[in-house]
Amino acid sequence: MSDAAHADPNAYYVPHGTKWPIVGSFGLLFTLGGAAFWLNEHPAGKVAMPLGIAIILFMVFGWFGTVIRESVSGTYNKQVDTSFRMGMMWFIFSEVMFFAAFFGALFYARALSVPWIGGEGDGALTNFFLWKGYAPAWPTNGPSAIGGAFETIPAWGVPLLNTLILLSSGVTITIAHHALRAGKRTQLMIFLGLTILLGATFLWYQAHEYIEAYQQLNLTLGSGVYGSTFFMLTGFHGLHVTLGTIMLIVIWLRCARGHFDRDHHFGFEAVAWYWHFVDVVWLGLFLFVYVL
């Protein structure tokens, strides 16, 4: 690395060569190719997929390690920092659009396809010839009652609690951010730690809810279109909360090592943005999946 503690403000940092992307590509190939073999019940999948995930983890550690070393040694100037910020913002936007696809499926099913199967609008003949006797309703598992009778999870129990938990975690991470900017280290560590705990608690309740849905309510991924949309939306959200919690833990460890100062802590901010994004998606879920 360099002895230049501060980057040249006029020169954009262009790294010369990197081996991590190609490692990541092999990781993706093994993970996804392995998953495809696994789904087709080919024995190679059970070996390839875990191997692929291990390669991706190796890549993530290596790549982020390099970036952190460069960042700590002062390689990046203001302009590089702005590129990182834009990268993260647009990445989050792409995540928003990914969730939009599943929300779109939910709205389409509720507002259009279920009523049509039930004979509304242009669907009178469809209903008469194909799905006679089906009365549209929500929640539903369709005219063939795929997956069998099920019950839904009431919004005002655990989901409400989880809403409060996630909203609180949005507050605690903001307090932690202010503490970081004010240089109050102890407060930073406590409130960031609290955010992690709240995230973990959310996940614990969510797992609990899933177990109850499967074991007592007969609400499964196979419960018609309700089960499909319910579990895909909450499932992908839960996956993102898991990822966000891991990211928060990494940031907590980096804070403990003193990687951040008052003015340079984009890693912290990026994770905070991500956390708020996960939070906002949950509000949408709570409203459209549980309440309405």
Partner 1 sequence: MANHAAHADDHAHDDHDHKPEGFLDRWLFTTNHKDIGTLYLVFAFTMAIIGAGMSVVIRTELAAPGLQHVQPYFFNQMTTLHALVMIFGAIMPAFVGLANWMIPLQIGAPDMALPRMNNWSFWIMPFAFLMLLGTLFMPGGGPAGGWTMYPPLALQGGASVAFMVFAIHMMGISSIMGAINIIATILNLRAPGVDLLKMPLFTWSWLITAFLLIAVMPVLAGAVTMLLTDKFFGTSFFNAAGGGDPVMFQHIFWFFGHPEVYIMILPAFGIVSEIIPTFSRKPLFGYQAMVYAIASIAFLSFIVWAHHMFTVGMPLGGELFFMYSTMLIAIPTGVKVFNWVSTMWKGSLTFETPMLWAIGFVVLFTIGGFSGLMLAIVPADFQYHDTYFVVAHFHYVLVTGALFSIIAAIYYWWPKWTGRMVNETWGKVHFWWTIVFVNLTFFPQHFLGLAGMPRRIPDYNVAFADWNLVSSIGAFGMFVTPWMMIAIFAMSKKKGAVASQRPWEGAHGLEWEVPSPAPHHTFTTPPVIKPGMLAHGDVSH
- Site for partner 1, residues 120 to 179, rule: CB under 8 A: 121-122, 130-131, 140-144, 146-147
Distance CA 241, CA 170 (A): 12
Q: What is the DSSP letter of 140?
A: -
Q: What is the DSSP letter of 13?
A: -
Give 139's Cβ-side CA count (13 Å radius).
Answer: 24
Judged by CB under 8 A, does residue 10 bind partner 1? yes
Judged by CB under 8 A, does residue 39 bind partner 1? yes
Distance CA 219, CA 216 (A): 8
Residues 195-234 that bind partner 1 (CB under 8 A): 220-222, 224-229, 231-232
Judged by CB under 8 A, does residue 238 bind partner 1? no
Spell out the alpha helix ranges (H) of 2-43. 20-39
Q: For partner 1, which is the closer residue by CB, 116 or 205?
A: 116
Q: How far is the CB of 234 from partner 1 (least distance, A)?
A: 13
236 CB-contact burial (10 Å; exposed 0-12 / middle 13-18 / buried 19+): middle
Judged by CB under 8 A, does residue 239 bind partner 1? no
At position 81, the amino acid (one-letter code) is: D
Judged by CB under 8 A, does residue 71 bind partner 1? no
Residues 88-127 that bind partner 1 (CB under 8 A): 90-91, 93-95, 97-102, 104-105, 108-109, 112-114, 116-117, 121-122
Q: What is the DSSP letter of 6?
A: S
Number of residues that bind partner 1 (CB under 8 A): 82
> Applying CB under 8 A, which of residues 48, 56, 75, 270 lies at the interface with partner 1?
75
